[in-house]
Structure 1
Amino acid sequence: MAENTEALLNKGERARYREDCPGCKIDRLKETNRGVPYKLLFYVWIIVLCAALPISSLFPFLYFMIRDFKIAKSEEDIGFYAGYVGSAFMFGRALTSVLWGMIADRYGRKPVILFGWF
């Protein structure tokens, strides 16, 4: 048992990085420790903004769209149909999230994200 006292994760052995390894890039960033990664935080902020934009831009105008397209027969039914539109939007997201995950596993996450922007 005395011969098994060597550290399992030795820093000297982990210093070998490959350029195509995403985990190695993160380890390299942690070792340099240049402070707060503002560039990466900006990318995350943009992605969160893009994910929230369709929801926040649809719902303020939903009442007027249902009224002007004369979908509801009376003024009281507009809220009922607005609920259908909102739930259909989220239902579509829930159904296709697994499909987009499988496509991202097969082709990579970056092509799927780029396809989702258009």
Structure 2
Amino acid sequence: HGDLEKRPLTEAARAEYTARWARTQEQFVDSPQQALHEADALLADLSRDRGFPAGESFEERADALSVHHPRHIDGYRRVHTARSDGTGTEEMREAFVDARNLFDALLADGPAPRRQDNRQLTKGQGTS
């Protein structure tokens, strides 16, 4: 997995992923478990679009991601586990927040995630 060639995202793809994350975050209030399912799927889609192997299993995806994003993989693993193991709402929230770090890292073109523009969209700005 170390020789992976990352693919850049188009601005349209970046905007769509950002909008999906914002919708998922809003969904968390009413349905935390469903939001974790969506976050899990969203991170899988985003990692595939960035050039990571799709893999047959979560562990294959997580292993590939951990080579390039070792500081951020824990949140993804926690989201994947918490979505089905009866974890309490606070633990689900913490997992979701941690997974955002991987989302930001995958969304960024370079090694440093884009901070301001992506975070502001999740604060309820946009459509009213």
More relative contact order, 1 or 2 (CA 8 Å, 6+ apart): 2
Structure ranking higher in helix proportion: 1
State the TM-score, normalized to the length of structure 2: 0.29
